[in-house]
Amino acid sequence: MSLFKRSATELVGTFWLVLGGCGSAVLAAAFPNVGIGLLGVALAFGLTVLTMAFAIGHISGCHLNPAVSVGLVVGGRFPAKELPAYIIAQVLGGIIAAALLYFIASGKPGFELAGGLASNGYGDHSPGGYSMAAGFVTELVMTMMFILIILGATDKRVPVGFAPIAIGLALTLIHLISIPVTNTSVNPARSTGPALIVGGWAIQQLWLFWLAPILGAVVGGVLYRWLAKEDD
């Protein structure tokens, strides 16, 4: 499969992740009387990854996330030379999804972009008012664990076919833990799309949602290689 086609697949997959995950937060989380709440949003993010892993995993690997791609490079599962193409495609997918979500959400009377469009944030823009330091550590550790789970679930020594379930449930759990802290990123592409639409504070704080997940991915990749290496 060509790099172009695999990158295009990543764009489509990331589009679905951002539309499904952020869309559930913006359109359904607090819908009158039947809102899905934090649990529903967390499950929505997990389901986007689970469904795409089964749909496109055999084409592109279903990274859907620059941090995951970096972690797979560090973990020895993905060639570094293909990393830029994947990251560009993932970010574009996130931007297109955020733009579509804004179009849909703005069709409701009274909609205000000040609500954040599910953007990630810290301090005054953290759902629970958590500090920048708390947000940074949370994003780093959650991404580290996500990479450990991805590398472990897709290890050739593990039974084939169950990885999407483990990975989807892992992302659900990560959101259950960290939505109150940062609105959960662990994915720079997921953060970039809404931030570009919202502008202002969301763009000013976007650096954290690139740096912390990337660092977490590197730590996770290094740690898994050490843990999984068979002793001589």
> Can you tell me which residue has the tokens 């660092």?
215
**How many domains is the chain partitioned into structurally?**
1
Give pTM, 2 decimals: 0.95
Question: Which CATH number does the domain housing residue 185 bear?
Answer: 1.20.1080.10
Report pLDDT digits (tens) over 12-38. Answer: 999 999 999 999 999 998 766 767 889
**Residue 127, number of CB atoms within 10 A of its CB:** 16
Beta-carbon contacts of 65 under 8 Å, excluding residues fewer than 6 positions away, are 14, 17, 90, 186, 187, 188, 189, 190, 213
Integer Cα distance of 96 and 105 in angstroms: 14
Position 229 scores a pLDDT of 85
Tell me how far apart the alpha carbons of residues 25 and 178 are, in angstroms, rounded to a whole number.
Answer: 14
Where in the sequence is the domain holding 205, given as residue range(s)? 3-108+116-228
CA-to-CA distance for 215 and 66, rounded, in angstroms? 11
pLDDT per residue as tens digits for the range 178-223? 999 999 999 999 999 999 999 999 999 999 999 999 999 999 999 9
